[in-house]
Amino acid sequence: MAFARTCSVALVGVEGVVVEVQADLEPGVAAFTLVGLPDKSLTESKDRVRAAVVNSGAAWPQKKLTVGLSPASVPKSGSGFDLAVAAAVLGAAERIDPRVLADIVMIGELGLDGRVRPVRGVLPAVLAAADAGYEQVVVPECAAAEASLVPGVSVLGVRSLRQLIAILADEPVPDEEQDEQGRPDPLLAGLRVPGTGAATGIHSAGTAHDHGHDLADVVGQTSARTAVEVAAAGGHHLFLEGPPGAGKTMLAERLPAILPRLGRQESLEVTAVHSVAGLLPPGKPLIDVAPYCAPHHSATMQALVGGGQGIARPGAVSLSHRGVLFLDETPEFNSQALDALRQPLEAGHVVIARSAGVVRFPAKFLMVLAANPCPCGRFSQRDDLCECPPSVIRRYQARLSGPLLDRVDLRVEVDRITRTELTAVGARGESTATVADRVRAARERAVERLAGTPWCTNSEVPGRELRSRWYAVPGAMDEAERNLERGVLTARGLDRVLRVAWTVADLVGHVRPDATDVALALQLRTGVPRGVPMAIGALT
């Protein structure tokens, strides 16, 4: 029988489709035809596979060879089909028993010498295979730890095609030469793709509390520290406005460390996105802490929300999924790119339509905006150091659209640090560990209250549910409702005030938000003093 088949996975965004790789040998002039909507990198696999098979000690069949990728209507891209194509060809040539290959999913790129190289998106590919009912997966050896994160799947990691042939043919497995100690493994290069954002502000912390960025290092800024704590506890978006050097970036960099560790399902979601983007760090297959993404203000719309030529790639909103997206110097961003954030802020995902297909990426992130009050950064209500004309200030502040700011729960003015605060010797502010413990306790209260619902944080609860099921103490919302009548708050803004009030109540241990909790939420929303202490510790 000159026919064999095995399986691989085609990725569309972070979702996978199992593809059956079929190989057929017929008498005739030796030729290699690949069908099934392959892209350029997949078409070139014909030469890679032929060289890898020959250099692995197997004979290349001198017949008419046709390899089909089914379903043929699904576009296929990337070099991850090489291993499956080689196995199917060897099965059709009866070098491997075709019956052994039928129920195995193979993912990996082949080098010309037969080594198996890693590819992006191993985790989502194995998840798709598991969902389709497959129980055996073959992946590159250096990506086996990532594939093993999926339960119920037997993972075989191979370093070369020679090893795979020996294992499937029940022959002695050859030993592969290891690289010299101290030298980087060239196979790991496939896990980090240049130009996809590595080392440009996209990272995830390695420990629960990043001791290099401690909240205790922030001098003063009681209101801003409280806003950061509330944002972490309830998943609320935050806008920090203040002069240069006041500590806006310091506060944003310390926010991921006070967020709780990711759960199992959340970790798989984040790891899948980073794997597809080529940002998964070698040696750490599972990302279990909140990622942090801080793109430069020159970033395009495609860099922020995703896109690119051909199949769309994840952008900053997806790379910061379940983490923090920090937009420093926000008014300097392209206005269209900023307005494109409005849909993922509400939906928790982004849908990108391209001629090559429609891709859906998760994008449930905590957004932190930072801006100067004017182009020179010195405009303030307290002093007169700014030299910008009023028209320039209005034009600068208008770069942030009203609909985008209406989706931001917390707006805080970061004051200029005084000499006394900066040079004071004595007690520092609360540390990251202390705040993180309080945030974790608040999250646990919210999860217990929202048990049995699809929501986990206060920021996710729809306004109608808050008003009908989780309401504040009678009379606590009176001031907020008067702000709605005066036009200070929109209807969406009123709901967001109630969400923030619930988060404040969780932080201080109240069963329901009272007038003090709502007043603090209003102050964090509007910036107007309400006569309540700004420190969470003062409310407990």
Phi and psi at residue 286, to the nearest 5°: -120, 125
First to last CA, the chain: 77
Q: What angle do CA 221, 223, 227 make, to 5 degrees?
A: 115
d(Cα 124, Cα 259) in Å, to the nearest integer? 25
d(Cα 350, Cα 356) in Å, to the nearest integer? 17
pLDDT bracket for residue 415 (50, 70, 90): confident
pLDDT in the model for residue 208 = 43
| 48-61 pLDDT per residue, tens | 999 999 999 999 99
CA dihedral for 101, 53, 107, 153, sign (positive or negative): positive
Helix (H) or strand (E) holding 324: strand 324-327
- Residue 8: alpha-carbon gap to chain centroid: 25
Virtual CA dihedral for 345, 347, 348, 352, nearest 10 degrees? -100
Pairing of strands 116-117, 109-110: antiparallel
What mean pLDDT comes out for the span 468-476?
87
| 483-500 pLDDT per residue, tens | 888 888 888 888 899 999
What mean pLDDT comes out for the span 144-163?
94
Residue count of the chain: 540
Alpha helices in 235-360 (DSSP H): 248-258, 264-277, 301-305, 316-319, 335-339, 342-347
pLDDT in the model for residue 185 = 56
The region of weakest confidence among 101-105, 204-208, 245-249, 528-532 is 204-208
Which residues have a Cβ under 8 Å from the Cβ of 536 and sit 6 or more positions away? Answer: 226, 229, 230, 438, 504, 507, 508
Q: Report the predicted TM-score, pTM, of the whole model to 2 decimal places.
A: 0.88
The region of weakest confidence among 207-221, 251-265, 305-319 is 207-221
Q: At residue 511, what is the residue type?
A: V
CB 149 within 8 A of CB 285: yes
Structure tokens at 133: 């009912």
pLDDT of 457 higher than 60: yes
